[in-house]
A and B are shown apart, each in its own frame.
Chain A
Amino acid sequence: MSGAPVRVMALWSPDWPVTAAARAAHVPPHRPAAVILANRVLACSAVARAHGVRRGLRRREAQARCPELAVLTPDADRDARAFEPVVAAVEELAPGVEIVRPGLVALAARGPVGWFGGEQAAAVRLVDQVAARTGVECQVGLADGLFAAVLAARRGLAVAPGDTPAFLAPLGVEELDREPDVDRSELVDLLRRLGLRSLGAFGALGAEDVASRFGADAVLGHRLARGLDPRPPLRRRPPEELAVEIELDPPVDRVDAAAFAARGLAERLHRTLAAHGLSCTRLGVAARTVGGEELYRVWRCAEPLTPAGTVDRVRWQLDAWLTRRRTSPSFVEAPSFVEAESAEPVDAHGGAVDRLWLVPEETVTAGALQLGLWGEVGEADERAGRALVRVQALLGPEAVVTAVLGGGRDPAERVRLVPWGDERGDGLPTPPGEAGPGTGSGRQAAGVAAGARRGGVRAGAGTRAVIDGPDRWASTEAAQRLGPAVVAVSRSTAPAGWPEDVVRRADRISAADPTGIEVQGRSTNRRRRPPARRSTGRTAIREPPPSWPGRLLAPSPATVPPHPLPVELLDAARQPVRLTAPDLLSAPPRSLVVDGGGPRTVEGWAGPWPLQQRWWMPNGVDGSRLQVACADSTAYLLLGRAGRWWVIGVYD
């Protein structure tokens, strides 16, 4: 048969993101761990799974099922970097290793099977080798074709030659959607609704029928389900001149510099490929070190690579090579690996990279990667991104920032500045240092404080408009005028650190909370996150918007000094105006002296509005705010605190 795929051996390390993260964070393997993105479990260790933690769970729920769960943050770069020693270990025994993604490599089975005298022996040898060199557990699967081999590796099976369709047939169609890069959830959902629950049932359909009804992606899935190679076997052999290369002078030994070079290179590669009407599905990344050593690694992708995907892979690979010589701290517990490196000169990579080239190992005709019909839009974004990255290269990555609005009561604390290129907003991971002593309410309170400090709450523009408005203002103002008593009441109804699930899910509110306090009142002190985009099958109830009572309403000051400026507020007798109570001035202000300048006549003022927040912190910010308009038509927002006045906003 023309489409008979080659025999592939897949080596799969289960839960790689968790393994890599746990090693980096020095979490012992017996402790349950999970990588959490945007408040959802992205991956969890086997120990955690035994405790009932599953992919897609909310963080709170996962921690409820398994209180000692170590919560780790996702980092694709780290995953790729930590995986490099595993690849190196496999490569010592078998050449031609392809990285499918961090955690999964594929290799042609013929070589190792022939050399070690049998599939079983080869698999055992590989697993042993990886375990001995790096201390990583992995499973091997053998089958015809990569797709089946990966599924076999997940089950630790060797499927006999020719048995692959039979092996695939009883498996569920959802196996088509296991690849994180490709989203086939819609197809899988559709097939299940049509009653095609197994790969065999799907594969039994005619290829023409699938193509005419479900589109190109389904044809690919159909080929996979029948145990054929995903792409028809007629592959174009890439001509040699498609490879692009760059000489790095001076040699590069830092990852960011190398990644910068890689970006230009990847773009060149894509231009060349686009000119030939091709796109790349297997990418070879090669580098030569100053010592004359040539490093080469092949990355394989399910989908044709986009320029951004290429840059990512090149960066991961360079990151791995460049950090390899320095013994990575995550692998100190594997002394054999260190010894191997120092003993064998072959492994003594290191030194700077002075030449870098990319080889498209396998190409397909570019169909899906055309620019959009109105391609200029994306182009402008890309151009802007390039300009900003250039400035970052000039001044450092922290010098170019974008703003994310968060929760808070003062104009300064409602803004969080994020370096350009970093993720904006969603899913703020709590750094381990800030999380406090991982137990009970102390941890949660610290989390709340951290959230408030960093503006962990994000208010949508639409929702804010609903809260704003004269009525809301009047009620807030009235509450403030009544003084601390009201605040104290709202405090008692708003305990810090309620478990998120209790508040978020309406059915549980009534169960856990017989008093039935309104949700909005409680939301004031709680750390809040935007609902995760990932669909987990369960519909989340829409959250009420965070309200932050006591915050100032629009218009906000157009200028916010980075540090509060000291001012003097004087009354008619040129005596300093003080706060006799949080909401009472000692005398009407008459003039304002800003930062040593001349006195300005105060024309009107509003306030003071007491501000009480973070009372649980030793250095909590208590004070009163006052709006002052001067005769020269400038207006200031002042904060009175500890007997002094500060400018925290200028309305200019």
Chain B
Amino acid sequence: MADAAVGDVAVEDARQVDPAGRLELARGVLRGLENRAAGGRPVSHPEADGRVLPVAGPLARLLPAGGLRHGTTVAVPKGPGSTSLLWALLAEATAGGAWVGIVGRPGLGLVAAAEAGVRLERLALVPHPGADLLAVTSALLDGLDVVAVAGAERAGVRAADRQRLAARARQRGAVLLALEPWPGADAELICTDAQWQGLGSGPEGGSGRLCSRRVRVRLRGRGVAPGGRHARLLLPGPGGTVGLGDAAVADVRRPPVPVAG
């Protein structure tokens, strides 16, 4: 009974916000009720509270929730464009007052971060956590809104530890960004087909400068069509911020494959 009352209050609040937010909240409430009705241990789902950290406009169209859901784990494996993608993901969140920590990643181009719109005073770096990577990351998950972590493999983080970190993020409502492949991540963002623009080549070599880069960002994970979702972006765009590429977001439809559940 008490649960239902809580749900009523939540729905009451939701009347004031926009339809998308209401839908998200309603889903969260429904999921909570389902979990309880199932009788087992309540499994808190990533979307449980329905809050979303905003991301820059072009990326928001790609992400199903329009941003980074609190409590999720998102992998951004290293590759061409991955660091720029990281800055693009963090820019809007820090501008909105979220705190971000990056663990285990020395040599970040922070000028590029500032150009992308990241507020550096809300960005804390722990470049060399050494063997304490796990402890540091979980401590930061307690207090910060987004924690990006790299070098987990090198620091000897096992699969169970990964799950523990993801669970901690879920419990605290933080976003865990893995800057490397992360088994069990809720979503994975990869840049492909990167192409720099602005440089002269061949006989015109030496002219121009790097201006912008077209990339195709592919999203895979829960709540996305099996083939993933793509968006063409300028990452970075001419001023360092993320820009919109020529084509819009497209779900890649594959022939229907039977999926369990």
A residues bordering B, Cβ < 8 Å? 377, 380-381, 383-388, 390-391, 394-395, 399-405, 411, 414-415, 417, 420, 424, 461, 465, 468, 473, 553-562, 585, 588-589, 603-608, 627, 629, 632-635, 649-652
Contact = CB atoms under 8 A, between A and B. Distances in A.
Interface stretch (B31-39, B45-53, B130-138): B130-138
A588 B124 contact: no
Interface of B: 79-84, 86-87, 97, 99, 101, 106-115, 120-121, 123-130, 132, 135-136, 139-140, 142-145, 193-196, 198-201, 205-213, 236-240
B101 A388 contact: yes
B210 A461 contact: no
A606 B209 contact: yes
B107 A395 contact: no
Contacts of A400: 124-126
A608 B132 CA distance: 43
Contact of B125 (A381, A385, A386, A417): A417
Contact of A386 (B82, B87, B143): B143
A557 B195 contact: no
A388 B145 CA distance: 12
A560 B111 CA distance: 9
A395 B126 contact: yes
Given A555-B238, A650-B109, 15 more contacts: A386-B143, A390-B142, A401-B125, A403-B125, A405-B110, A414-B111, A417-B125, A554-B236, A555-B237, A556-B111, A557-B112, A558-B109, A606-B209, A633-B81, A651-B84
Contacts of A424: 121
Contact of A560 (B109, B142, B212): B109
Contacts of A401: 124-127
A555 B199 CA distance: 13
A399 B128 contact: yes
A405 B114 contact: yes
Contact of A473 (B84, B125, B209, B240): B209
Given A394-B136, A556-B115, A652-B82, A606 B125 contact: no
Residue from B101, B107, B142 whose CB has the most chain A CB atoms within 10 Å: B107
Contact of B129 (A399, A461, A588): A399
Given A391-B136, A627-B210, A652-B83, A402 B111 contact: no
Top 4 A-B pairs, shortest CB-CB distance: A387-B143, A604-B199, A604-B201, A558-B83
Contacts of A402: 120-121, 123-125
A405 to B, nearest CB: 6
Contacts of B121: 402, 424
Given A411-B111, A555-B112, A555-B240, A381 B212 contact: no
Contacts, number: 188
Given A383-B143, A634-B80, A652-B81, A405 B111 contact: yes
A143 to B, nearest CB: 45
A395 B196 contact: no
Nearest to A607: B206
A403 B87 contact: no
Nearest to A393: B139
Contacts of A394: 132, 135-136, 139
Contacts of A405: 110-111, 114, 120
Contact of B205 (A559, A604, A649): A604
B201 A556 contact: no
22 contacts: A377-B97, A383-B142, A384-B124, A387-B143, A390-B143, A391-B140, A403-B113, A405-B114, A411-B112, A468-B239, A473-B209, A553-B209, A555-B115, A555-B210, A555-B238, A556-B240, A559-B109, A589-B205, A605-B205, A635-B199, A652-B81, A652-B83
Contacts of A604: 196, 199-201, 205, 208
Contacts of B140: 387-388, 391
Contact of B123 (A403, A461, A553): A403
A559 B107 contact: yes
B65 to A, nearest CB: 20
A196 B115 CA distance: 51
B190 to A, nearest CB: 13
B239 to A, nearest CB: 5
A394 B130 CA distance: 11
A649 to B, nearest CB: 6
Nearest to B117: A461
A649 B143 contact: no
B120 A404 contact: yes
A651 B120 CA distance: 19
B84 A652 contact: yes
A606 B210 contact: yes
Contacts of B81: 633, 652
B206 A555 contact: no
Contacts of A390: 139, 142-143
